Amino acid sequence: MISVEHLTKCYGDFTAVEDLSFEIGEGHVYGFLGPNGAGKSTTMNIMTGCLSATAGHVRIDGYDIFDEPDKAKKLIGYLPEHPPLYMNETPVEYLTFVGEAKGLRGEELRQQIEKVIAMAGIEHMKHRRISALSKGYKQRVGIAQALLGSPRVIILDEPTVGLDPIQIIEIRDLIKELGQSHTVIFSSHILSEVQAICDQILMIAHGKLVAFDEPKNLEKQLLSSNEIVLVTDAAGDQLDQILSQVGQITAVSVGAAEERRTTAHIKTDCRDIYDLSRAIFLAFAKSDHVILEMSLKKGNLEDVFIELTEAASDGIAPGESDDAGEAGESEVGKA
C-alpha cells in the first residue's frame, strides 16, 4: 500500500531523516514510535505530500506522492501534529470545506460528513465554533477531517497528545476500529499506547529505522535485560555458592542482608527466563535453603525501545552491543 524508498530529508546541515525505507501493507494498525525529534513528524509530512524530500520516493498504492500528488493524496487522510482547524468555523463548515477540497459534492458530501461526525463522536458539538471546543474535541474534529472521503490510508501524528485519560482511551478505540477497514499509521512516543493497539511497530531513532516488527517479536528480540529478583534466607556467601551451581547467570548483585533475609538481583542473558528460575529453584532445594520470594522481570518493549534508540545514536546496529544501555543514557535525555 505504501512504499518508502531511501527517503532522506535535510534541513541545511541537519539530517532529519536518513535513508529510510519500509513497506506497509493493506489493513492493520501501524505504530510509528520514536523519541521526540526522531523524525516521525518529518517522515509523516513527507508521506502525505506536505513536505518535499531531499532524496528518495514515497509511493501510495503505486502513485508517487511527488509526481502524481493528486491521485496519491486522494488515498490519504492526514491529521498533523497540530490539528489544522479554522478556529472561527463550526465543525460542519470546516468539514464541508475539507470534503469539497477532497472532491466530494452534494448528497455524497452530506452523507460523508454525517458519517465522520458520528465516527469521531462530535454530534453534540457540530454547530459550535471550533475555538470554543476543548482540546479533545478539537482533536476529534481533526480526526473527522482525516476520515472524510474514506481514504484507504489514515495517518495520524501523535493523536493522543494532550488529552485526558478517558479521551485517550476513546481515541485508541477509534484507531483500533479504523484499523479493521483502513490502513492506519499513527505516531507516538508513548510505548504502552503503541503496544496496546498496533499490529506492527516501526521504531525510528535519529532519522533511521531501527526496528519494524510485531510487538511480541520485538520483546523477544530483547536479550540483555531479563532479571530475577530473589529473596532468600541464605546469607551472602551461601547464596553465592548456591548460585555458582546454576549456569547462564551473567551478574548477581546482593543487596544488604536483613535479619533473616537476603535480596539478590540476578541478571541473565538466557532466552527463556523460566528455565533459569527452575534451575535456581532446584539448586536452592538441594541446599536446604528456601526461596522466600522470587519475581521475574521480563524485558518489556520499553527496554527494547531504549536499547534500540540508543544503539542508533551510537551508530551501532541494534543488538550488536551489550553495553549500549549505559553508553547512551544522556542521548535519550537530549532527544
| Binding residues for another protein (CB under 8 A) | 11-12, 45, 48-52, 69-71, 73-74, 76, 78, 80, 82, 84-89, 93, 97-98, 100-103, 145
CB of 124 to another protein, least distance (A): 22
182, 268, 291, 293, 296 from 275: Cα distances, Å: 42, 11, 16, 17, 12
The three-point CA angle 266-272-278 to 5° equals 65
d(CA 115, CA 59): 28
CB of 46 to another protein, least distance (A): 10
d(CA 309, CA 38): 9
Of 37 and 49, nearer to another protein (C-beta) is 49
Q: Where are the beta strands (DSSP E) in the chain?
A: 2-11, 14-24, 29-33, 55-60, 63-64, 76-79, 153-156, 183-188, 200-205, 208-213, 226-232, 249-254, 262-268, 291-297
CB of 199 to another protein, least distance (A): 24
Of 140 and 289, nearer to another protein (C-beta) is 140
CB of 200 to another protein, least distance (A): 23
Residue 96: exposed, middle, or buried by beta-carbon count in 10 A (0-12, 13-18, 19+)? Answer: middle
Of 105 and 260, nearer to another protein (C-beta) is 105
CB of 45 to another protein, least distance (A): 8
Of 66 and 212, nearer to another protein (C-beta) is 66
Of 54 and 287, nearer to another protein (C-beta) is 54
